[in-house]
Structure 1
Amino acid sequence: MFTTRFTQLLGIDHPIVQGGMQWVGRAELAGAVSNAGALGIITGLTQPTPEALVAEIARCRSLTDRPFGVNLTILPAINPPPYAEYRQAIIESGVKIVETAGANPVDHLPDLKAAGITVVHKCTSVRHAVKAEKVGVDAVSIDGFECAGHPGEDDIPGLVLIPRAAEELTIPFIASGGFADARGLVAALALGADGVNMGTRFMCTQESPIHDTVKQAIVAASELDTELMFRPLRNTARVASNTVSREVVQILDAGGQFEDVRDLVAGARGRTVYETGDPEAGVWSVGMVQGLIHDVPTVGDLVERIIREARGLVTGRLAGLLADTQNEPVSVIS
């Protein structure tokens, strides 16, 4: 096992977290991830009502006796979901780990902390991570530019973002965006993170509740097969490259506004992709890391493989490199 501040904080075996993905973070996936010794996450707003979320949490609890969490994404909207009611559903269900994302979680922290909940906030920049630490979250998940979904507007990749976060934060943090295997986990730990968050990789597992055709599309795709939508609107989103997403990019690049693409990017169309297996039915999130995904294993086999190979890298190849130079002078960066 790799023991880090994050595994100790959450009581999990492995420093691996399943991303809270819209339409994907359901009980069967979260339960399987937690059973594998990592941290599974139910996506709160995937459920249509707070009552449905209570039922989904109960369903996950019937599948695992290990820690799991719930994602609560808070975004400004004309008609926002009843965030306070979702929060209360999480609290009353006895969940002890919450991943917040989107807007500043400060308004939700008093109730969550009063209920003894550990809060992990997802950020896309060091400045936002520092702010999250100041307002009282327990840990941070920091997304590099490679990630699926919203990478922010700074375009900072993980190779720079992770060590910068390590320089500024005192609380545990995990790295997100571009992680799929042992090499990524070892690299993230070396860069200063306390673990990794994987979304796209967990989409391509047998327990993932999406159509197998979509999983196979991810396996067949390369790191080049994504689009960055909404760049002109300063609300960038990384999604799979298909006829719909390319049309959205073309319209907005030509000066179009959100109203011109509203129907194309409707969330219901993205849900249809996952349910029917038609990758062209709408826009759907996927990361550049799809270029590193070549199979659809069980969650248990995936997590075991990552940990086994990560241990092999640390004790084998990397230790061997050190042994080859053990008699040479060592320069330490301070």
Structure 2
Amino acid sequence: MRTRVTEALGIRYPILQGGMQWVGKAPLVAAVSNAGGLGILTALTQPTPEALAQEIARTRTLTNQPFGVNLTLLPSINPPPYSDYLQAILDSGVRIVETAGNSPKDFIARMKDAGVTIVHKCTSVRHALSAEKNGVDLISIDGFECAGHPGEDDVPGLVLIPLAVRALKIPVIASGGIADGRGLAAALALGAEGVNLGTRFLATQEAPVHEHIKQALLQASERDTRLMFRTMRNTTRVLKNAISDEVVATEQRPGGCRFEDIRHLVAGARGRDALASGDTQGGVIAAGQVVGLIDDLPSCAELMERMVAECRAQLAQASRWAA
């Protein structure tokens, strides 16, 4: 399959693995890249820039195909050393970086000077236009269905994708709500030139999470996600479990909720430990509404070959109907 996205990234299929915290590690990343897509390491999963450099080196022992690194820039009282993480990426020779969260404009010149192709993930057309103006190469547009942070506009992909395609000159990658070849076909029909999958890759053989977590995804329906932090205008979509239920209940109580009231529930280390131990009720587990479409645990190669075959079949069927 050939689009501007595959050409820019040097991949066979226009399928990217989302930069998932605690999940975007070498085995999964290499499996996606070896299967023809773009695997993406998650920089802040690693405790230090030096550890990130080691994980990049480990990935290179598992694949000789292109892969990228996600650097998510979030507002924080005590932010991680983003500049040092970026330097580790550049010094390691990585030439594809996915940015997300805040605008990457302060780092764009450094990345461009190093020959990096920049994919910026955002949740609105206005932010996409700003990123295009600042010089990013590709936009990954996240619809309301997605796992993690869908923004505050609540616009689903069926509307957001064509809006972004119409507004932007650079290629658009559709993200959120895509799990199979039908979703890939739909994204292409809407004008996107690639797709980004997070939750679907979480439910694969190579995903570095406990089997109990994967089984929870298989058992979940499209109704089994919760939106946390709505009252704080930092909306986050996660799997419905005891933790997310308690967070939402706390937000809805009379008198409101401060972040300090729920900090102990949503601590990142707690979510990391839940993914590793398989305690499905023990921490926050990011998941999109696409869980309703997931009913098996294939390898990344099996998933991607199936997606491409389904996509071609769906587009051919649609062409016959149109004819």
TM-score range (shorter-chain normalised) is over 0.9
Q: Distance in 2 between matches of 1:246 and 1:36?
A: 37
Report the Cα offset of residue 147 of structure 1.
0.2
How far apart are the structure 1 equivalents of 2:132 and 2:210? Answer: 38
Q: Where do residues 51-62 of structure 1 align in structure 2 (5 Å cutoff)?
A: 51-62=50-61
How many residue pairs get aligned? The number is 321
Amino acid in structure 1 at the alignment position of 2:302: D
**1:141 and 1:287 mapped to 2: Cα distance?**
16
1:92 offset after TM fit, Å?
A: 0.2
Q: Specify the SS of the correspondent of 1:59.
A: helix
How far apart are the structure 2 equivalents of 1:314 and 1:165? Answer: 22
Aligned to 1:281: 282
Counterpart position of 2:239? 240
Q: Distance in 2 between matches of 1:42 and 1:241?
A: 26
Partner of 1:239, secondary structure, is strand
AA of the residue aligned to 1:5: R
Please, which runs of 5 or more residues in structure 1 have no aligned partner? 324-334
Q: Return the letter of the residue paired with 1:148.
A: A
Q: Identity of counterpart residues, as a percentage? A: 63
Encode CA deviations 1:221-275: one digit per residue, 9 max, x unaligned: 0000011000000000001111111110111112111110000100111001110
Task: Classify the secondary structure of the residue corresponding to 1:251.
Answer: helix
Give the distance between the partners of 2:236 and 2:41, measured in 1 at CA. Answer: 21
Q: Secondary structure of 2:61's partner? A: helix
Partner secondary structure for residue 266 of structure 2: coil
SS at match of 1:210: coil
Distance in 2, Cα, partners of 1:94 & 1:203: 27
Q: Does 1:229 align with 2:219?
A: no
What is aligned with 1:26?
Answer: 25
Which residue is equivalent to 2:198?
199
Which letter maps to 1:229?
Answer: M
SS of the residue corresponding to residue 108 of structure 1 reads helix
Deviation of 1:152 (Å): 0.2
> Stretches of 4+ moved more than 2 A in 1?
none
Q: CA deviation at 1:313?
A: 1.6
Opposite residue 190 of structure 1, the aligned amino acid is A
User: Secondary structure of the equivalent of 2:265?
Assistant: coil
Q: Which residue matches 1:330?
A: none
Say what the alpha-carbon RMSD is for the aligned residues.
Answer: 0.6
Specify the SS of the correspondent of 2:151.
coil
Give the AA of the match of 2:71.
L
Q: Which residue pairs with 2:162 in the alignment?
A: 163
Q: Which has the larger radius of gyration?
A: 1
Partner of 1:185: 184
Query: How do 1:73-222 and structure 2 match up within 5 A?
Result: 73-222=72-221
Q: TM-score, normalised by structure 1?
A: 0.95
SS at match of 2:5: helix
CA distances 1:183-216 after superposition (whole Å, capped 9, x unpaired):
0000000001111000000000000000011001
2:261 aligns to what SS in structure 1? helix
Counterpart amino acid of 1:318? A
In structure 2, list runs of 5 or more residues that go unmatched.
none
Q: CA deviation at 1:74?
A: 0.6
Report the equivalent of 1:265.
266
Deviations 1:278-324 (A, max 9, x none): 11001110000000000000000000000011111222x2232133x
Whole-Å Cα distance in 2 between the matches of residues 318 and 260 of structure 1?
51
